Amino acid sequence: MGTSVDAPAVVAEEVTDNMLGGKKVTVVFVLGGPGSGKGTQCTNIVEHFGFTHLSAGDLLRAEIKSGSENGTMIETMIKEGKIVPSEVTIKLLQEAMIKSENDKFLIDGFPRNEENRSAFENVTKISPAFVLFFDCTEEEMEKRLLGRNQGRVDDNIETIRKRFKVFVESSLPVIEYYSSKDKVKKIDAAKPIPEVFEDVTAIFAPYAPKV
């Protein structure tokens, strides 16, 4: 009544087949604020559950070191705590997954914003099995970042504040999006590393290697 445009009868389904380079892949997104322990726990998950860990931040930092044409742009973005355009990050993730002999991936620190999220699904046709969310207070994350001494250009108080702001404004909405799809497994990441890993282990139990 009163509408002149025909609405489509069916809303388009998400087109995801999770195929990449001739293999069917399982992807888990690992999200959480800077300093929430994503990298640390991913190392544990790799060891116990046979996943390959792909850190978007590490891939971007490697790209700077390799002297690629995007290096200067990426470095500027990281120093400012800003999010690098999706096409750059997605290409790095895609290449790493294709090159790997594994078919189970932890993608850490991605998607960081709505553009990351939608571009990844559109380009790769991959949707995550679930999203592991490390929930931690800013106070605790700040303490960890200032104490970790990895020589990173963005672990200074000024950039840390910017990264927190980007996390709240751009990354939390991504977590809310996946929450609405019942895909988020949230973990209290303020606890000590072994206790966090106990919670992680419970979540990954279905992926334990069969013996």
Three-state SS string across 123-192, please?
HHCCCCCEEEEEECCHHHHHHHHHHCCCCCCCCCHHHHHHHHHHHHHHHHHHHHHHHHCCCEEEEECCCC
Asked if residue 21 belongs to a known ligand binding site, the reply is no
Asked if residue 152 belongs to a known ligand binding site, the reply is yes
Asked if residue 191 belongs to a known ligand binding site, the reply is yes
Contact present, 111 and 57 (Cβ < 8 Å): no
**Cβ distance to ligand C5P smaller for residue 153 or 193:** 153
Query: Where do contacts with ligand C5P occur on this chain (CB under 6 A)?
Result: 34, 55-57, 60, 77-78, 81-84, 89, 109-110, 112, 116, 154, 163
CA distance 198 to 196: 5
Asked if residue 134 belongs to a known ligand binding site, the reply is no
**Cβ distance to ligand C5P smaller for residue 63 or 199:** 63
**Cβ distance to ligand C5P smaller for residue 158 or 198:** 158
Biggest alpha carbon distance in the chain? 64
Beta bridge partners of 187: 134
197 binds, among Mg ion, ligand C5P, none (CB under 5 to 8 A by kind): none
Contact present, 132 and 175 (Cβ < 8 Å): no
Under the criterion CB under 5 A, does residue 39 sit at the interface with Mg ion?
Answer: yes
CA angle 155, 158, 162 (to 5 degrees): 90
**Cβ distance to ligand C5P smaller for residue 44 or 55:** 55
Asked if residue 144 belongs to a known ligand binding site, the reply is no
Residues belonging to the binding site for ATP are 35-40, 148, 191
What are the binding residues?
Answer: 35-40, 61, 82-84, 109-112, 116, 148, 152, 163, 191
